[in-house]
Amino acid sequence: MLAIIFGYILVLSKTILIPTLYLFGKGRGLTGYGLHQDEHSFYLVPKRWFSHFYFCGIVCNSLVMLATIHTYLYSGTWPLAIKYIMDMLGHSESGQISPLSVLLAVTMIEIQVIRRFLECVYVSSYSRSTMSLVIYIVGLMFYAFVGISVLCQAPETKIKLDTLPVQWFDTLAVAIFIWASYKQNRINKIFAKLRQDKSGHVEDRAHHIPHGDLFRLVSCPHYLLEIIIYTSLNILFLGQHEILLYAWAFVVCNQVISAIITHSWYKEHFPSYPPERKALIPYIF
């Protein structure tokens, strides 16, 4: 994971190899990187393949969710296959982590990957933008393992849901997750409508300046909301889940650098781009 984060940081150096492997979408067309959108290059795949990430996440996290429910409500022990993967990732049971928080976390991840898959398939209107195989493989691996990573510090026990106290941080995390998910869905619909006519049919594949909602403040509200969603997962564990903190750091690094590049692209290609907009954090950054 540190190698991936370091790679994203090196993107800013504008050397040829690193941006070629890490940049995707409109970022590949930013002046200074010397890249182009060649749909036929062997190392590039369509950006619309983002849906594969979430389909992979649905399959893998659904199995994790079933295993979690079975363990906590019925057997009290992890299935052997799940335990093997947990040991491979570095299983270290923590007595400070609540089974309820674990159940909430895998449920929230399940909702996130299902929602994003449906948005990719039924809402998004993709351009002909591409991404490298590196990004594609990293995305598949991230969503394949993010669910089971929650279990790596989870207690192995049998519980009764009606005896588990709901803590303040559980309520806060779920509330933030619901708000951020709703907002991200609205933002993705705004993106899609930029390329659609009044009947909802895609009429062009060009990029346009988005307006409305959080776009009044930042260029990349969808990236900001992704960070907030993964922050809500860590609130469930009050920052005590080491592997989820690593996942959060990866998401933050990814979204911050992507926001910088996207913001620069907008300003470069649209002379009338709203000057008051920040890249990611309203009024600050």
pTM of the model: 0.88
Contacts of 81 (CB under 8 A, 6+ apart): none
Roughly what angle, to the nearest 10 degrees, separates helices 99-122 and 50-70? Answer: 150
Contacts of 63 (CB under 8 A, 6+ apart): none
**Amino acid letter, 17:** L
Q: How many CB atoms lie within 10 A of CB 160?
A: 8
Residue 86 belongs to a domain: yes
At residue 47 the predicted structure's pLDDT band, cuts being 50, 70 and 90, is confident
- Please name every residue paired with 132 in a beta bridge, in sequence order, or none if there are none: 44
Query: From CA 186, how far away is CA 44, in angstroms rounded?
Result: 29
Residue 14 belongs to a domain: yes
Domain limits for position 147: 2-269
Mean pLDDT, range 221-226, rounded to an integer: 98
Mean pLDDT for all residues in the chain? 86
- Please report the beta strands in the chain, taking only residues with DSSP state E, as ranges in sequence order: 44-46, 130-132
**Amino acid letter, 206:** A
Share of the chain above pLDDT 70, in %: 84
At residue 127 the predicted structure's pLDDT band, cuts being 50, 70 and 90, is confident
Residue 275 belongs to a domain: no
Query: From CA 217, how far away is CA 67, in angstroms rounded?
Result: 42
Total domains in the fold of the chain: 1
Mean pLDDT, range 119-124, rounded to an integer: 92
Tokens matching residue 12: 């800013």
Residue 282 belongs to a domain: no
pLDDT of residue 269 exceeding 60, the answer is yes
pLDDT of residue 28 exceeding 60, the answer is no
Residue 200 belongs to a domain: yes
Residue 22 belongs to a domain: yes
Residue 127 belongs to a domain: yes
Query: From CA 283, how far away is CA 278, in angstroms rounded?
Result: 6
Q: Which residue has the higher pLDDT, 244 or 43?
A: 244
The confidence score (pLDDT) of residue 174 equals: 98
Where do we find the tokens 């990573």? 149
Residue 276 belongs to a domain: no
- Please name every residue paired with 278 in a beta bridge, in sequence order, or none if there are none: 218
pLDDT of residue 64 exceeding 90, the answer is yes
Helix ranges (DSSP H) in 99-204: 99-122, 133-151, 168-193
The whole-angstrom distance between residue 5's C-alpha and the CA centroid of its chain comes to 14
